[in-house]
A and B are shown apart, each in its own frame.
Chain A
């Protein structure tokens, strides 16, 4: 409950900040959308940084480091330090000067003028809004997960289905509402202020989290040495021989279990006698819950009590791993054995984990503060639903296969941060700058700020792989990556500190949502309503009202998506960024290539979004975290395809008029 009170106070403070900044609001749509071009270097740095560092940076980076190891930093943090500032330097300043000179508020206004195309907005607006939605989804989804994890057991009897804590859907809803309210009151000025405040909060609390967690793990050296001993592959981008051997043993043991379950529960061709079971238990060392079945499985395999065909073994593995059984069963799997990789090609059944864990561990589930057995407190506390599902996954599913990071994938990750060149909310932030010189501080400090936030998060995520609490591993296999940071904070700090640290995580999430909300409203009113409806048709107040209504509509759609099957924050983030990156050639050419034509830009946009949709579908809509195309990150193909289409079509179509060229390149 303490955590909940602290989070509530923090959200209240944000609302006050929004209301306060609204007192400075000049009442014009220009002030609402661009803070009247009045933002100085520090506010610009903090608002740009706060906007780009979303749930992706804290929740996503720690979760991804937990899954993939320290290589995550090189994949996106250090590369972003180079590429983001490059985009600010090459595009931000130039677009700011044109925006300032010609009075632009959105990217589409710039493209309309530069490409001499009134209708570019019709194609670009849905593309940009469509790509912002997954970006919003990252924040909305992560905020619900974080609040739900941290408030577990906060209520005495309410929300039993959510482990007596705030349900994720309610957490996401509250955060969306708070951001909506302060964006509505404060506009861009309020957003810049709130971003700055929240960026300071999450950077300070991030460092505090790091220090507290490392102390709890016995200090920096002890925490890292535990990883070196138990999961050395997490400290590099290759697979350590020790991890390979461990996995091989676990996988063999898992297959044995799958086969035993198949012959005893599906084919029902084997039943051990009480004597055989006793013999099996004598020879087995108990470890995890449900160990008796494992002992029987080992005994049956050792004494060759059953025989299975390849088809039956494959089916046994699919059932054990809760995978959807293909129908008809493929011929190739009637003859040969599936590898673990083949197995993973089949999706998991949606509700199997939830239903089976309740069936097996239902009797142990209850309020996490109450004893399992009131007469014998030594048996421990009742299990949460999350714990039951975690134990089910750990004891039933195939172990995670360690895999090296591909050098080509690492290299092609460089295309992902190009997305900042096309983020519509960043474009809007660029235009808030007071002068070109305002960009100097963000350009220089951005890589350092990324480092200050990402290095501790990556270390915490990697430490989580080997952390123990009271002698037991803190995270069982298959623990959800999105919940790693919140779980570390909850398990390793006091309730008061956990409340503050959660506020810090939420600050990072909200400091991105606010800019994105505002930007969506601006794009809708400027690019669609005012442009196609007529400039003098609406008053400033009407424009602001329409912006707000459109924001509510998009937030409602995003919120609906957040209730569907969750994705890894990192994976979803990379797909969203990849979509924006695929449009990078268009903005770069629009600024630096005078031969870019309207038809060339259309071709580039269509190919970019077409290739994005195709590859996103191939990747199971972000359900396959390690999906690659031609051995590379899919974004590389998207960027190359859109660039080629844009260049080829531009070369064979009519270039822009001399007037337009003179408008943008007067020095020629």
Chain B
């Protein structure tokens, strides 16, 4: 699953290079430049991919390694 996530990240990077919108001045919804809207969509896409990463590719073993360590100290801030 981890590799699928990396694959999605590569897809996002490829989609980010939106050469086809280079000279497009269209305003979507009457005010939003299409380039800006598209790139904002990339930001939303990134959030979705990273959400999937936390669900399906999270390195839980690192948590266990840290918990076993003597250096850990607890305190409450939140």
Chain A interface residues (CB < 8 Å from chain B): 24, 26, 30-31, 35-40, 42-43, 70-71, 73-74, 77-79, 81-82, 85-86, 89, 93-94, 96-97, 100-103, 189, 192, 219-221, 223-225, 228, 232, 235-238, 240, 404-405, 407, 410-411, 414, 434-437, 440, 443-448, 450-451, 455, 458-459, 462, 666-667
B32 → A minimal CB distance (Å): 7
The B49-78 residues at the A interface (CB cut-off 8 A) are: 49-51, 53-54, 58-63, 65-69, 71-78
Q: Please tell me if the beta carbons of B46 and A85 are within 8 angstroms of each other in the complex.
A: yes
CA distance A189 to B78 in the complex (A): 11
Residues on the A chain within 8 Å of B65, using CB:
97, 101, 666
Q: Please tell me if the beta carbons of A440 and B33 are within 8 angstroms of each other in the complex.
A: no
Most buried by B among A73, A228, A410, A459: A73
Q: Please tell me if the beta carbons of A70 and B36 are within 8 angstroms of each other in the complex.
A: yes
CA distance A232 to B17 in the complex (A): 21
Q: A447-B50, A451-B43 are in contact. Are A39 and B77 (CB under 8 A)?
A: yes
Give 14 A-B contacts (CB < 8 Å), ordered by A residue.
Answer: A24-B77, A35-B75, A223-B31, A224-B32, A236-B33, A238-B23, A407-B19, A436-B62, A437-B63, A447-B44, A451-B43, A451-B44, A455-B36, A455-B40
Q: Mark B5-39, 1 if CB is under 8 A from A, else 0.
A: 00001001100111101111101001111011001
* Nearest residue, chain B, Cβ from A233: B25
* Nearest residue, chain A, Cβ from B54: A440
Q: Please tell me if the beta carbons of A82 and B42 are within 8 angstroms of each other in the complex.
A: yes
Q: A94-B59, A101-B66, A451-B40 are in contact. Are A74 and B78 (CB under 8 A)?
A: no
Residues on the B chain within 8 Å of A86, using CB:
9
Which bucket holds chain B's interface residue count? 35 or more
Decide yes or no whether B47 CB sits under 8 A from chain A.
yes
B66 → A minimal CB distance (Å): 4
CA distance A100 to B78 in the complex (A): 19
Chain B interface residues (CB < 8 Å from chain A): 9, 12-13, 16-19, 21-25, 27, 30-33, 35-36, 39-40, 42-44, 46-47, 49-51, 53-54, 58-63, 65-69, 71-78
Q: A101-B71, A411-B17 are in contact. Are A189 and B77 (CB under 8 A)?
A: yes
**Other-chain residue from B12, B22, B44, B75 in contact with A36 (beta carbon distance below 8 A):** B75
Q: Please tell me if the beta carbons of A436 and B63 are within 8 angstroms of each other in the complex.
A: yes
CA distance A73 to B41 in the complex (A): 11
Q: Please tell me if the beta carbons of B13 and A414 are within 8 angstroms of each other in the complex.
A: yes
Residues on the A chain within 8 Å of B49, using CB:
82
Q: Please tell me if the beta carbons of B76 and A77 are within 8 angstroms of each other in the complex.
A: no
B4 → A minimal CB distance (Å): 14
CA distance A235 to B31 in the complex (A): 11
Q: Please tell me if the beta carbons of A37 and B17 are within 8 angstroms of each other in the complex.
A: no
CA distance A66 to B23 in the complex (A): 18
Q: Please tell me if the beta carbons of A36 and B73 are within 8 angstroms of each other in the complex.
A: yes
CA distance A158 to B42 in the complex (A): 49
**Other-chain residue from A85, A225, A235, A435 in contact with B63 (beta carbon distance below 8 A):** A435
* Nearest residue, chain B, Cβ from A75: B39
CA distance A446 to B43 in the complex (A): 9
Residues on the B chain within 8 Å of A666, using CB:
65
A279 → B minimal CB distance (Å): 42
Q: Please tell me if the beta carbons of A38 and B77 are within 8 angstroms of each other in the complex.
A: yes
Q: A444-B51, A447-B47 are in contact. Are A73 and B40 (CB under 8 A)?
A: yes
Residues on the A chain within 8 Å of B44, using CB:
447-448, 451
Q: Please tell me if the beta carbons of A78 and B22 are within 8 angstroms of each other in the complex.
A: no
Q: Please tell me if the beta carbons of B33 and A462 are within 8 angstroms of each other in the complex.
A: yes
A105 → B minimal CB distance (Å): 11
**Other-chain residue from A81, A225, A434, A447 in contact with B27 (beta carbon distance below 8 A):** A225
Residues on the A chain within 8 Å of B12, using CB:
82
Q: Please tell me if the beta carbons of A77 and B75 are within 8 angstroms of each other in the complex.
A: no
Most buried by A among B43, B54, B76: B43
* Nearest residue, chain B, Cβ from A36: B75
CA distance A211 to B63 in the complex (A): 43
Q: Please tell me if the beta carbons of B13 and A221 are within 8 angstroms of each other in the complex.
A: no
Q: Please tell me if the beta carbons of A236 and B23 are within 8 angstroms of each other in the complex.
A: yes
Residues on the B chain within 8 Å of A232, using CB:
25
Q: Please tell me if the beta carbons of B22 and A444 are within 8 angstroms of each other in the complex.
A: no
CA distance A96 to B71 in the complex (A): 12
A68 → B minimal CB distance (Å): 12
* Nearest residue, chain A, Cβ from B18: A74
Q: Please tell me if the beta carbons of A224 and B30 are within 8 angstroms of each other in the complex.
A: yes
Residues on the B chain within 8 Å of A43, using CB:
77-78
Q: Please tell me if the beta carbons of A93 and B59 are within 8 angstroms of each other in the complex.
A: yes
CA distance A85 to B50 in the complex (A): 7
Most buried by B among A71, A223, A225, A462: A71
Q: Please tell me if the beta carbons of B75 and A81 are within 8 angstroms of each other in the complex.
A: no
* Nearest residue, chain B, Cβ from A34: B73
Q: Please tell me if the beta carbons of A224 and B27 are within 8 angstroms of each other in the complex.
A: yes
Identify 13 new A-B residue pairs, CB closer than 8 A, beyond the known A42-B78, A443-B53, A447-B50. A37-B74, A40-B78, A74-B16, A89-B50, A96-B62, A103-B71, A192-B77, A228-B27, A238-B22, A434-B74, A436-B59, A448-B44, A451-B44
CA distance A78 to B46 in the complex (A): 8
Q: A221-B31, A448-B47 are in contact. Are A81 and B78 (CB under 8 A)?
A: no
Q: Please tell me if the beta carbons of B76 and A78 are within 8 angstroms of each other in the complex.
A: no
**Other-chain residue from A81, A101, A102, A437 in contact with B42 (beta carbon distance below 8 A):** A81
CA distance A159 to B39 in the complex (A): 44
| Minimum-distance CB pairs A-B, first 5 | A38-B75, A40-B78, A220-B31, A238-B23, A101-B69
CA distance A79 to B46 in the complex (A): 9
* Nearest residue, chain B, Cβ from A447: B46
A38 → B minimal CB distance (Å): 4
Residues on the B chain within 8 Å of A223, using CB:
31
A75 → B minimal CB distance (Å): 9
Q: A447-B46, A448-B44, A450-B43 are in contact. Are A79 and B16 (CB under 8 A)?
A: yes
Q: Please tell me if the beta carbons of A235 and B22 are within 8 angstroms of each other in the complex.
A: no
Q: Please tell me if the beta carbons of B75 and A236 are within 8 angstroms of each other in the complex.
A: no
Q: Please tell me if the beta carbons of A235 and B54 are within 8 angstroms of each other in the complex.
A: no
Q: A71-B35, A97-B62, A435-B63 are in contact. Are A81 and B77 (CB under 8 A)?
A: no
Q: Please tell me if the beta carbons of B62 and A94 are within 8 angstroms of each other in the complex.
A: yes
Residues on the A chain within 8 Å of B59, using CB:
93-94, 436
